[in-house]
Amino acid sequence: MKTSIYSLILLGLICFFGSCKKSEIQMYNDVMRIQLLDSLSSAYTFFYRPQTVVRDTFFLPVRTVGGLTNADRPIRLVQESEYRDSVVFDAITKLPIDTVKIPLANPAQAGVHYVAFDSPEMQAAAVIKAGRVDAKIPIILLRDPSLKKASYRLRIALAPNSEFELGEKKSLAMTLRFSDGLERFYSWRFDTGVAQAFITFGKYSTAKHQFIYDVIGEPIDEAWYQGVLAIQGTSQYQIMVKKALNEFNSNPENLASGKAPLREGGPTSPVITFP
């Protein structure tokens, strides 16, 4: 008799927890979610484009979780503010007493640097097509004259709407930095060996980037560098730019005019070198 009662209790518990687990999974599956395929920061420049190009597109890859539908589904994008933390110190003890958030410089302006996310044009483009679970959403950038003077930052974030809840927290936003000048590309994003192009070209500077572009005559960006890696051509290009720099720095006219040796910035800045 005791065995039967214990068996019934055990069976009841299994059914109870089993049904709860099934219910939780079902609830999760019933919710459509949206997230980015890649949340790493990225860079874009109009620099290599003809002056007649006043708009261009950066494609934002997104993916849904929760299944397919037979109708197009709009997604919602917003621009997030970006901040850096600054520590406040006590004037007497010099000990940290607080942390304040300071906005990052040069946030992109909707309608000036990019087509606003709530505009009819973007609302028509920001959709997951019927029968699809992924999409590349066009972020339309505008070639405002201010891009020649500085890089601007656009923090693109997904937001919930009537179609989608949000997916993984770490995959909900990314920063796009863009300008009408030379931009550091992903493989040269750091001045350490973590970035492959640093191993090839050394410490980054805009002047060095410009020199490489002048010598090679092709857009020196991530697509170009990945092509060089694919053909195992980094050593050849490294030799090419080192030779060109040698010739530039030893040219009597460049020496007489003060252009040589080539420097990273002003007349007292470090001389440009390659590994």
80 burial via Cβ count (<10 Å: 0-12, 13-18, 19+): middle
pLDDT at 19: 44
pLDDT at 27: 40
Question: In angstroms, what CA-CA distances link 224 with 56, 124, 231?
Answer: 19, 32, 11
Domain boundaries, the chain: 30-182, 184-275
pLDDT at 30: 60
What secondary structure, in 3-state letters, does the chain show? CHHHHHHHHHHHHHHHHHHHHHHHHHHHHHCCEEEECCCCCEEEECCCCCCCCCEEEEEEEEEEECCCCCCCEECEEEEECCEEEEEEECCCCCCEEEEEEEECCCECCECCCECCCCCHHHHHHCEECCCCCEEEEEEEEECCHHHHCCCEEEEEEEECCCCCEECCHHHCEEEEEEECCCCCCHHHCCCCCCCHHHHHHCCCCHHHHHHHHHHHCCCCCHHHHHHHHHCCCHHHHHHHHHHHHHHHHHCHHHHHHCCCCCECCCCCCCECCCC
Q: How confident is the model at residue 95 (pLDDT cuts 50, 70, 90)?
A: confident
pLDDT at 86: 86
Residue 173 pairs in a beta bridge with 157
pLDDT at 53: 98
Q: How far apart are the first and last CA of the chain?
A: 84
Residue 132 has pLDDT above 80, yes or no: yes
Q: How confident is the model at residue 23 (pLDDT cuts 50, 70, 90)?
A: very low
What is the pLDDT averaged over residues 187-214?
Answer: 96
Share of the chain above pLDDT 70, in %: 89
Q: How confident is the model at residue 96 (pLDDT cuts 50, 70, 90)?
A: confident
Query: What CATH code is assigned to 30-182?
Result: 2.60.40.2030
What's the mean per-residue pLDDT of the chain?
A: 90
Q: How confident is the model at residue 7 (pLDDT cuts 50, 70, 90)?
A: very low
pLDDT at 25: 35
Q: Write the pLDDT tens digit of every residue in 215-224.
A: 999 999 999 9
What is the pLDDT averaged over residues 56-76?
Answer: 95
What is the pLDDT averaged over residues 42-71?
Answer: 95
11-15, 159-163, 214-218: the lowest-pLDDT one? 11-15
Question: In angstroms, what CA-CA distances link 230 with 32, 213, 233?
Answer: 38, 19, 8
pLDDT at 6: 41
Residue 12 has pLDDT above 60, yes or no: no
pLDDT at 17: 43
Q: Write the pLDDT tens digit of every residue in 218-251.
A: 999 999 999 999 999 999 999 999 999 999 999 9
Q: Measured between alpha carbons, how far is 80 from 174 in angstroms, rounded to an integer?
A: 9
Do the bridges between strand 76-80 and strand 33-36 make them parallel or antiparallel, or are there none, so unpaired? unpaired
Residue 186 has pLDDT above 60, yes or no: yes
Residue 26 has pLDDT above 80, yes or no: no
pLDDT at 118: 97
pLDDT at 60: 97
Q: How confident is the model at residue 29 (pLDDT cuts 50, 70, 90)?
A: low
Looking at this protein, which amino acid is placed at residue 166? L
pTM here? 0.79
Residue 81 has pLDDT above 50, yes or no: yes
